[in-house]
Structure 1
Amino acid sequence: MADHKTDDHPDGNYPCGMMPDNTFQTDVLPLLCENPLPVINWLKQHGLLKHEMHCQSCHNRMNWTKHSRSKDGFAWKCQTRYCKKYKFTATIRTGSFFSKSHVTLQKWVHAIYLWSERVGERTATRHVNISEKTMIDCYSFFREVCSKHFQANPIQLGGLGIIVEIEESCFTQKPKHHRGQAPHTPVPPISPVWVFSITDTSTKPTTGYMEVVQSRDAATLLPIIQAVIQPGSIIYCDEWRAYCNLQDLSGDTNKPVNSSINFVDPHCGAHTRTVESYWNRHKSHIKTMRGCKRDFMNSYLTEFMWHDRYSDNAFENFCKHIALQYPM
């Protein structure tokens, strides 16, 4: 699962300005004490743990009780004497985002906060005090939450008379100075990774959509355009031939494929600087991560798109999205 290693803060300190942040000081720091009750109560209040539990056998409410053998110090216990599962205990994590994990709830909350502040995995590993592999898995789970959020809430850009820009961008990491290669050994060719990007110029800061594409032909790009860009939008694009061919798929060369979406000839003064800037910003972030495996590229793009939209109160927003996906 170790898809990349980030060493964005080698001195082991939080990013500049993080520690004085009010969210950390008032909401997170008090939850990181050894006593598990504060974090348990906070997770209940935010819909991340159950407020009550019913026995699967007798269906009566189970009691909340201390449990020394539980990793959380508490458990749900059936106290119905006639029930065949009398005194049976269930973990307080049942059905939750944390149900399959052995990481303490305090460390989970700390990790969520650091991820929401875009702290790299290596730095987060040091502060949360868990293994790097475990932190990589945690961050992977967070990206899954982002992915599920956009599956339930598909991204829509543009609208009547709104300009959107589209562009395909190449991202390829090349080994520096033949690192890892024997002297005079030819470097094997690296196939490029192409990312199709769409930005909405009406939003500040710019929001967009990104997806890794295997091909840059019209048959590949058209379904993405039709799914993401709203009717009535005006599309600015470069002179690449695939965009010209988009009209051909409609069977009417005098009209665009979608009659409510208009492709603008770049010779009329249109430009794609916004989408180029948008992609370069995220490309730079990938480079600070020292790259990532191709199989994980789309999941990182999804994470970037989530942060584009929810960076204000990111910690609170992410907890809300977890609660929606794991209803208690």
Structure 2
Amino acid sequence: MWNITKVVATFSTREDCIAFAEKEGLILDNKLCRKHKTPMIPTLSGNNTVGSFRCRRGSCRSLPAVSRAKGTWFENAKIPLPQIFYLMFAYASHWCQTEVRKNSFIAILSTATICDWYSYCREAVVLYQIDHEEAVGKIGGPGKVVQIDESKFGKRKYNKGRRVEGHWVLGMVEDGSEDLKLTVCPENVRSAEVLIPIIKKHVAEGSIICTDYWRAYNCLSDHGYEHRRVNQSDPENPFVAPDGTHTQRIESQWRVIKRFFLKDNFSNQQNFADLII
């Protein structure tokens, strides 16, 4: 079990952080030179976080070092490693900004730094959820109701790996189930050509699918689904149709996610709008 005492003891220096990152596979502990096919030498120079690899043989001596952070969680990071690991722990502990500053064993962290790294951690959580959904299998089935809707996720500061920057995310949830499917819409497109294959991948045929009136859903009945719709432009009751069809479950799921993100973002509406719209 991690606590602040263990965090201080484990990540007090840059060298301690690098050793932990190597042990946990967060960075490579060795790399071969492409030219000489021999192990390169790790060095703390050439990169402010986890250092670099450098080959000392022949003409390679004059070449730039290869960053150990490239393609990792630490790529493009601008703060010291102890601060990074501390902020990761603070995010996982759901600490607010005041708690982050109060418990810090390092230099005082700015609001911008805390918000940037909390946003970075949130994106990692979303991507992990997306990457590990397939093992659960399809939701729904004959006679079962699945509610579907989209919400837009916003920006983060650092450019690392796959991003949810300005992308629409499709949410699918089965009535009576806690399994929420989240999938990023490729190329930020919400057309039928994009959404229908995603739905077929995650929702079993024969399901009763409830959506709003977005035109991309109009052909769902042609793909083995019973399609029911809710007019969300209805000022009297935007989430329940006259026949009782509703999308309240998926809408409430978005609200829960947004409240969670808002809490971690210190009720800062401007920063929150950058994360999820």
Shorter-chain TM-score tier: 0.5 to 0.7
1:31·1:106 contact (CA, 8 Å) conserved in 2? no
2:41·2:54 contact (CA, 8 Å) conserved in 1? yes
Distance 1:203 1:44, change over 3 A: farther
Q: Which residue of 2 aligns with 1:207?
A: 180
One of 105, 112, 120 as aligned partner of 2:88: 112
* 2:16 maps to 1:38: yes
Which structure has the larger Rg over C-alpha atoms? 1
Shift of 1:72: 5.5
2:210·2:228 contact (CA, 8 Å) conserved in 1? yes
Shift of 1:69: 8.4
For residues 244 and 79 of structure 1, what CA distance do their matches in structure 2 show?
61
* 2:25 maps to 1:60: no
Q: Which residue of 1 aligns with 2:222?
A: 257
For residues 198 and 61 of structure 1, what CA distance do their matches in structure 2 show?
47
Paired letter, 1:257: D
Paired letter, 1:62: M
Q: Give the RMSD, CA atoms, in angstroms.
A: 4.6
* 2:256 maps to 1:281: yes
One of 116, 141, 147 as aligned partner of 1:160: 141
For residues 143 and 235 of structure 1, what CA distance do their matches in structure 2 show?
32
Paired letter, 2:254: W
Paired letter, 1:47: G
Shift of 1:85: 0.5
Q: Which residue of 1 aligns with 2:78?
A: 102
One of 192, 195, 203 as aligned partner of 1:230: 203
1:264·1:270 contact (CA, 8 Å) conserved in 2? yes
Deviates more, 1:267-276 or 1:102-111: 267-276
User: What SS is found at the alignment partner of 1:85?
Assistant: helix
2:141·2:205 contact (CA, 8 Å) conserved in 1? yes
Instruction: Output the TM-score relative to the length of structure 2.
Output: 0.60
1:237·1:271 contact (CA, 8 Å) conserved in 2? yes
For residues 97 and 193 of structure 2, what CA distance do their matches in structure 1 show?
36
Shift of 1:43: 0.6
Deviation sequence 1:154-177 (CA, Å, 0-9, x none): 7786232343224689xxxxxxxx
For residues 138 and 168 of structure 1, what CA distance do their matches in structure 2 show?
25
Q: Which has the higher contact order (CA 8 A, sep 6+)?
A: 1
User: What SS is found at the alignment partner of 1:257?
Assistant: helix
Shift of 1:32: 2.3
User: What SS is found at the alignment partner of 1:23?
Assistant: coil
Instruction: Output the TM-score relative to the length of structure 1.
Output: 0.52
User: What SS is found at the alignment partner of 1:164?
Assistant: strand
For residues 104 and 26 of structure 1, what CA distance do their matches in structure 2 show?
19
Distance 1:83 1:270, change over 3 A: same
For residues 193 and 176 of structure 2, what CA distance do their matches in structure 1 show?
22
1:201·1:274 contact (CA, 8 Å) conserved in 2? yes
For residues 286 and 53 of structure 1, what CA distance do their matches in structure 2 show?
38
Identity of aligned residues (%): 16
For residues 66 and 150 of structure 2, what CA distance do their matches in structure 1 show?
51
Paired letter, 1:160: G
For residues 33 and 285 of structure 1, what CA distance do their matches in structure 2 show?
30
Distance 1:85 1:262, change over 3 A: same
One of 124, 132, 137 as aligned partner of 2:111: 132
* 2:177 maps to 1:198: no
